[in-house]
Copies of this chain bind each other. A is one copy, B any other.
């Protein structure tokens, strides 16, 4: 175990695609979607064999501080970093990198979202360990996910030369990094066999990512420098709030990965899923069969219905006639009924709620 390895869990997401379970007050990462542990708790559990609790940091927003404390009660208080507002992954990671450098000049960080599902924790940890080996040499390393469809919502990574192996894991130079290609391009990428999806899990030295930000995102870097200088002083909160009003919203993918040098990827099969919508969750919940799945403690009474994913609280009975491949998500104040193949349309529901000013359901 590497004593300079730290984990940074990004728990600031505000996803709306699992509405009505995910709400502004309880986004996806705080939900027990697939078992007794929430996605945040499962992310901590997955890291623990690799990184002890005292080196796991969580970055989240003001409004979620209490939820994080409840769900990760053993998190050291100084390991909870509060962003004044969501500005995309680049400022979030930059802020964590500043915190880590102040603590440990040699810090290597694994940055991972709090709201992904990874079935094979051992494979994940093996890949992170291998990635950390090359990160120490100055590489920005990302975990590559084998693309099982020509999805247009992900970043695609073209593998270049083999850098080497660690932990039995191959690590490659990245030739090209393409964010959200069009359908034809995605198809070509997948068919070529040379591409992996960017799983959004990054491993790098804190000093290296900050240096890349200074080169590629100088405005962000300047704000981060001001925050670093104020760290631990009475004016810290005010400085951070001011900086966060100015920093532009940037993802680490667009802002850094596409343009950085010394970028590497280590492909890993670990049962990764970003649970992007109810159809994904339903797939994860169903396993190999294709029957109906009922979560939440409620009852489901299907008549000529199959492939239905139901979430319903204990005591509720849901009877469906003639539904095929639908999701039914029932919460105390709101209910969603949606075909699995239109699961993306849930965003439109949420957009309409916003337009109609129905904030109580958001």
Contact = CB atoms under 8 A, between A and B. Distances in A.
Interface in A312-351: 312, 315-323, 328, 330, 333-339, 342, 345-346, 348-349
A317 to B, nearest CB: 4
Given A317-B358, A361-B317, A323 B304 contact: no
Interface in A270-309: 299, 301, 303-304
A297 to B, nearest CB: 13
Nearest to A321: B338
A76 B321 CA distance: 44
B316 A333 contact: yes
Given A301-B353, A303-B345, A303-B348, A337 B318 contact: yes
A337 B316 contact: no
A301 to B, nearest CB: 6
A103 to B, nearest CB: 46
Q: How many subunits of this chain does the assembly comprise?
A: 2
Contacts of A245: none
Given A304-B345, A345-B304, A318 B335 contact: yes
A352 interface: yes
A342 B321 CA distance: 7
A20 interface: yes
A296 to B, nearest CB: 13
A336 B352 CA distance: 24
A19 to B, nearest CB: 8
Contacts of A358: 299, 317
Nearest to A299: B358
A25 to B, nearest CB: 16
A314 to B, nearest CB: 11
Contacts of A346: 319, 321
A325 to B, nearest CB: 11
Contact of A328 (B299, B312, B337, B338): B337
Contacts of A348: 303, 321
Nearest to A316: B333
B301 A322 contact: no
A349 B303 CA distance: 7
Contacts of A349: 301, 303, 319, 321
Contact of A322 (B20, B303, B338): B338
A312 B333 CA distance: 11
A336 to B, nearest CB: 5
Contacts of A318: 334-335, 337
A305 to B, nearest CB: 9
Nearest to A330: B335
Given A301-B349, A317-B333, A321-B336, 15 more contacts: A20-B317, A20-B319, A301-B352, A303-B352, A304-B342, A316-B334, A316-B335, A317-B353, A319-B337, A319-B349, A321-B339, A321-B346, A321-B349, A322-B339, A335-B335
30 contacts: A20-B317, A301-B352, A301-B353, A303-B345, A303-B348, A303-B349, A304-B342, A312-B335, A316-B334, A316-B335, A317-B333, A317-B334, A317-B353, A317-B361, A318-B334, A318-B337, A319-B334, A319-B336, A319-B337, A319-B346, A320-B338, A321-B337, A321-B338, A321-B345, A322-B342, A322-B345, A323-B337, A328-B337, A330-B335, A335-B335
